[in-house]
DNA sequence: TATGAATGAGATTTCATTCAT
DNA sequence: AATGAATGAAATCTCATTCAT
């Protein structure tokens, strides 16, 4: 049952690390970083506290890895990359819906992300990690608004970013089932697309 | 130190309570609810730990009073009340700037507010408190967009709310000095006013 | 309203001290010495904590005075004094009923007394206070049993003391309403009177 | 220090729990429940405060387990069970001496027991636990007195119970060395056996 | 006389982390 | 690799006592 080769061993370690990250995400998201305890996370991951420490050297380190992992997943889920170019209104709306779907799916991560960035001391430690993700994003939309010849494409893109952040924030806050997403997206289309 | 008359005593108590709230806000905002300790708050307020408990019966109660206090201040700072009606584009923009100024001034409170509402268990306990404040707000803008005859005034108002939330979120996150507020507000004017 | 003469003043102080003792008794009896707080006692006595300290210099001192006061009242309620002599079976039973009535009336005191004497450190401090009260008592019964020519009057008196203590203990424990006192006293009469 | 097999581990846990109970008993008995502190108990048990909480979830829970443990030991030490029947005066006196010996041996427990049952709030929580122990006891003596054809066997048994309680109370209070137990037991034999 | 704000020590409890097995 | 007992520091909270008014 136990993996034999070095490769299998490495794979098993990776799987366990992900399993721990998932447990940590669940617990951090519902109790906050400080409100969560290592015991809770270990219990959620169905391993002992001691073992957890062989994968992540401290609670702080675990949070850090969790943020990296979440942002990476966010980056790879949305197909926005540095070179990507939005070609049509349809593509614009499709991309928007993708982002929202991704946040809905990873609601725990984004709730945690929001909590973390609101704490200046914590935010500083993760700013770099979010930066490239956000900048790629912004650039794609600056390009889109330039193509549309709006007066101040950068400001337009920043404001569009605020729209997304605001919608997501409100949805995470009130619960997605109660939010009239379709109607709001229709307004977004009228204003931006 | 103890004033003589009952009135003065009551006044002194009130002052001290506000002093503690201010300290608590500062500490909660920068460390989060669970990350903040009563010791830190007492030190910030320059009183002993024990004394804090003659004013607020528990850490939880202190947070609750802080949320009430902050939302009340927010409600009284902005002149948005149930009956208010926005009459012109100038008034619309003025109101918007007021909100932003308020949040900038009370940045600590809004950072804390954001952290709290992201934690489902905590959010539930404060939903009622925020509800009337938010509903009054929404109603004023629904009215404004109705007057402007936009297709779906409710959705427009909700989306406009998301714009505000998004801008504020981004500003709280990156720090207000780095945020190109003027240019973004210009875009808002073009889109909504 | 305030008393003028030194005598009235002294009287007022005495009254207040008794009022505090009564409050302390109630609170100590239901929470135990360590489980009771000065705040609770002051609240029960409807005075401030500060004022309490002008009457009793410490919590310990308050307990001590309470024990003295209670034992004195017990001594004065029962008409058992050093010289007293029980003359008949009727007097014997009457005296027994008096003791029981007294403890029922002063149930709080005796509950507290029991708790205190079970703690070796505390008991030592109050042994002297209870001693004379108990010795007078014992002597009266030794005399009675001598008159009755029982084989070992001292042992008989000690055992009779145990009977009283046991009945009272059981009554304090189960609650007097549930205790079949009449029937038990009838047995006592058969055995001892 | 941590044994290997699950069985050994369970055994070690059980041993440690008993070790803690013994320490708690000692400290509770000499300082009372509220007067005793977790620090004192941990020090007595030679473990850290923190560890105590992996065995007992709270001070209250520790007391509860201590009462259960003590009553169980009392029940198993005396050979009085529901079906047992006292057949002779010798057996009667033997049983009595057994009870007294048990209480002498477990003096700390009974001192604590007495303190606890004197506090109405506490007593309520332990009444059920003591009930079956006491009822079995009572029943055995009711049977004995029925066999002896005394007028009111139930009252006789209850009074006999009071005798035992009284003797034990007095012994716990004055210290067993000073109590003329032999002579008093001789009186008991004359009256009841 | 009377108040209750204020303190500081200490209470109960939690938890990140270590380590023997 | 895996466990969870063990620790110690720190958290929340309580309370006897003092003191300015």
pLDDT digits (tens, 9 = 90+) for C8-64: 888 888 999 999 999 999 999 999 999 999 999 999 999 999 999 999 999 999 999
| Strand E nucleotides, any atom under 7 Å to a protein CB | 1-21
Residue C76 CA to residue A88 CA, distance in Å, equals 103
Question: What is the gyration radius of the CA atoms in chain D, in angstroms?
Answer: 19
Q: What tokens were used for B31?
A: 């460390």
Specify the domain boundaries for CATH 1.10.357.10 within chain D: 66-192
Residue D176 CA to residue D171 CA, distance in Å, equals 5
Backbone angles phi, psi at C5, to 5 degrees: -75, 160
Residues 6+ apart with CB under 8 A from A163: A188, A192, B159, B162, B163, B166
Mean pLDDT, rounded, for D102-114: 94
3-state SS class at A72: helix
Which residue has 């337009």 as its token pair? A156
How many interchain CB pairs under 8 A, A with B? 138
* Cross-chain CB nearest to A173 (options B111, B117, B159): B117
CB contact under 8 A, B155 and A191: no
CB contact under 8 A, A167 and B159: yes
DSSP A33: T
CA–centroid distance for B88 within its chain: 26
Helix, strand and coil content of chain D, in percent to the nearest 5, comes to 80, 0, 20
Tell me, yes or no, if C120 comes closer than 8 A to chain D by beta carbon: yes
Decide: CB of D7 under 7 A of nucleic strand E: no
Question: B6 burial class (0-12, 13-18, 19+ CB within 10 angstroms)?
Answer: exposed
Predicted confidence (pLDDT) per residue in A131-162, tens digit: 888 888 899 999 999 999 999 999 999 999 99
Predicted confidence (pLDDT) per residue in A164-177, tens digit: 999 999 999 888 89
* Cross-chain CB nearest to C115 (options D115, D163, D172): D115
Query: Which CATH code fits C1-56?
Result: 1.10.10.60
Residues 32-71 of A with CB under 7 A from strand E: 36-39, 49-50, 53, 58-60
pTM, two decimal places: 0.92
pLDDT at D2 over 50: no
For residue B38, what pLDDT is reported? 98
Nearest CA in chain D to C112: D118
Range among B105-109, C125-129, D125-129 rated most confident: B105-109
For residue D167, what pLDDT is reported? 97
Residue of A9, A163, A24, A146 whose CA lies nearest to A93: A163
Decide: CB of D57 under 7 A of nucleic strand E: yes
Residue B135 CA to residue B140 CA, distance in Å, equals 9
Of A93-102, B68-77, C11-20, the range with the lowest mean pLDDT is B68-77
pLDDT at B2 over 60: no
Which residue has 């197909």 as its token pair? A79
Is 2.40.50.100 the CATH classification of the domain at A66-192? no
Q: What tokens were used for A32?
A: 């906050």
CB contact under 8 A, D173 and C118: yes
Specify the domain boundaries for CATH 1.10.10.60 within chain C: 1-56
Residue D131 CA to residue D150 CA, distance in Å, equals 25
Of A28-32, A133-137, C184-188, D22-26, the range with the lowest mean pLDDT is A133-137
Predicted confidence (pLDDT) per residue in A102-137, tens digit: 999 999 999 999 999 999 888 888 888 888 888 888
pLDDT at C151 over 90: yes
Residue D157 CA to residue D140 CA, distance in Å, equals 9
pLDDT at B18 over 70: yes
Q: Quote the Cα angle for A167-A128-A145, to 5°.
A: 50
Residue of B180, B182, B168 whose CA lies nearest to A165: B168
Question: What is the gyration radius of the CA atoms in chain A, in angstroms?
Answer: 19
Determine what percent of chain A is predicted with pLDDT higher than 90: 72
Residue of B88, B71, B93 whose CA lies nearest to B164: B93
Of B9-13, B55-59, C65-69, D77-81, the range with the lowest mean pLDDT is D77-81
Task: Pinpoint the alpha helices (H) of chain B.
Answer: 6-31, 38-44, 49-55, 59-77, 89-105, 107-118, 120-147, 153-174, 181-192
Residue nearest to nucleotide F5 (CA to C1'): D2
């Amino acid at each position: 049952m136990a993996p034999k080769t070095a490769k299998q061993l490495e794979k098993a370690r990776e799987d366990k690390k992900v399993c721990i990250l998932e447990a940590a995400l669940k617990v951090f998201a519902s109790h906050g970083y400080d409100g969560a305890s290592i015991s809770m996370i270990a219990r959620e991951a169905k391993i002992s506290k001691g073992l957890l420490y062989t994968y992540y050297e401290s609670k702080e380190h675990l949070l850090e890895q969790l943020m990296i992992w979440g942002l990476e997943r966010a980056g790879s889920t949305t197909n926005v990359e540095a070179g990507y170019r939005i070609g049509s209104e349809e593509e614009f709306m499709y991309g928007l819906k993708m982002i929202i779907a991704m946040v809905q799916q990873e609601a725990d991560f984004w709730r945690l992300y929001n909590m973390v960035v609101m704490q200046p001391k914590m935010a500083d430690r993760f700013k770099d990690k979010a930066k490239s993700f956000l900048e790629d994003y912004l650039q794609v939309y600056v390009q889109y608004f330039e193509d549309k010849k709006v007066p101040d494409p950068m400001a337009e893109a920043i404001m569009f970013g605020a729209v997304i952040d605001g919608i997501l924030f409100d949805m995470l806050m009130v619960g997605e089932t109660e939010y009239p997403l379709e109607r709001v997206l229709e307004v977004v289309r009228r204003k931006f697309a």
